[in-house]
Amino acid sequence: MSEPFPSQLHGDGAAAEIAIRPLVYPDLPEVLAIERRVFPTPWSLAMFVLELSKQTGVCLAAWERAPRDGPDGAAAGERLAAYLICSRYDTVWHVMNIAVDLRRQRMGLASRLLAELYARVGEEEARFTLEVRRSNAVAIHLYEREGFRAAGIRRRYYQDNGEDALVMWRTPATRRGSLSDVPNPGPV
């Protein structure tokens, strides 16, 4: 669905292309490598396999194609740069996992994955939810730019350090600045 787009520059100044496509089982070794670099408590292979097997989910991969830079003009290859896992539960979409490889962070890939998610869901009134570490100010800011609003806390949600999770929602009302259509909003 997504067209490749030029992304930020490589360290050597050459532009790379990013293409977003469905995440598939053969991508999982690279997914696991990124997962382990990015998160203190990474998902297991079984967790990714379970999410990929769901018919109602949307799982996306952002692939980076390095520019042609060899003496013969050969491409340097493709690498997974980011991924997103989203499951549908009844009428709500739950963003379960979104990760950008360390070398590609803060270059707009998470926003591109979310934009592709919204396009694939294709419902203007769709409702999305997610949990994020309260200490992850960068991710919280990204989600707020995307129309998510904090609507509650999950106490001691993260196993590695017992940190609380902020529960965030993106709904028609949150995109207008209200929590009026969020189920059971609580203190944040």
Position 78 scores a pLDDT of 87
d(CA 99, CA 105): 9
What DSSP line would sit under 139-170, residue for residue? Answer: HHHHHHHTT-EEEEEETT--TTT---EEEEEE
| DSSP code, position 56 | T
- Phi/psi at 63 (5° precision): -100, 135
Q: What is the pLDDT along the chain (188 residues), one digit of tens a residue?
A: 444 444 443 444 445 689 999 999 999 999 999 999 999 999 999 999 999 999 999 999 999 987 655 555 555 688 999 999 999 999 999 999 999 999 999 999 999 999 999 999 999 999 999 999 999 999 999 999 999 999 999 999 998 899 999 999 999 999 999 999 999 888 88
